[in-house]
């Protein structure tokens, strides 16, 4: 039976969606991969576009609110919220939880190019983190 990894952030729009895409690519043999948010803000089109740049299609992923059933049987819950303004979800005490903080690319400011660069940076940071986890289990 596969283990379950559950990526959580505020809106299940960008970071957790990208993490789900990367994790399906690098962890898919051993893990069932899910993502969710405190709220469901819808899949951010830039998240879809930026993942497509690295050959990962997340366009069919859905933006979901946290499912207590998945949460309770998850082997690992990963919160991805960045700064304190993000409210990270609460997890049950028996569930192993780790925090990998990333900036919210949807909140990036500046020109379109600058905003896009933040999406690319966060995508790469999340990808590297998941590759590291795939290699070391940490």
CATH number of the CATH domain containing 62: 3.40.50.2300
pTM for the structure as a whole = 0.93
Catalytic, out of 4, 54, 56, 88: 88
For the question of residue 81 being annotated catalytic, the response is: yes
Domain of 48 in residue numbering reads as 3-136
Handedness of CA 125, 43, 36, 106 (dihedral sign): positive
* Residue in this structure with the two tokens 């500046």, named with its chain if needed: 110
The pLDDT, as a whole number, for residue 83 is: 58
**Which position has the higher pLDDT, 119 or 86?**
119
Structure tokens at 70: 């998945």
Number of independent structural domains in the chain: 1
Catalytic, out of 5, 9, 23, 78: 9
pLDDT tens digits, residue range 14-36?
A: 999 999 999 999 998 999 999 99
Catalytic, out of 14, 81, 126, 130: 81
The pLDDT, as a whole number, for residue 93 is: 85
Tell me how crowded residue 59 is: count the other CB atoms within 10 A of its CB.
12
């Amino acid at each position: 039976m596969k283990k379950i990894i559950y990526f959580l952030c505020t809106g299940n729009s960008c970071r957790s969606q990208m993490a789900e895409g990367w994790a399906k690519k690098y962890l898919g043999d051993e893990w069932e991969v899910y993502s969710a948010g405190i709220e469901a803000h819808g899949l951010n089109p830039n998240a879809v576009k930026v993942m497509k740049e690295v050959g990962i299609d997340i366009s069919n992923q859905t933006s979901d609110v946290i499912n207590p059933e998945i949460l309770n049987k998850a082997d690992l819950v990963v919160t991805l919220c960045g700064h304190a303004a993000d409210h990270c979800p609460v997890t049950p005490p028996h569930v192993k939880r780790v925090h990998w903080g990333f900036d919210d690319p949807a909140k990036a400011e500046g020109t379109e190019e600058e905003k896009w660069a933040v999406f690319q940076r966060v995508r790469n940071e999340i990808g590297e983190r998941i590759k590291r986890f795939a290699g070391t289990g940490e």
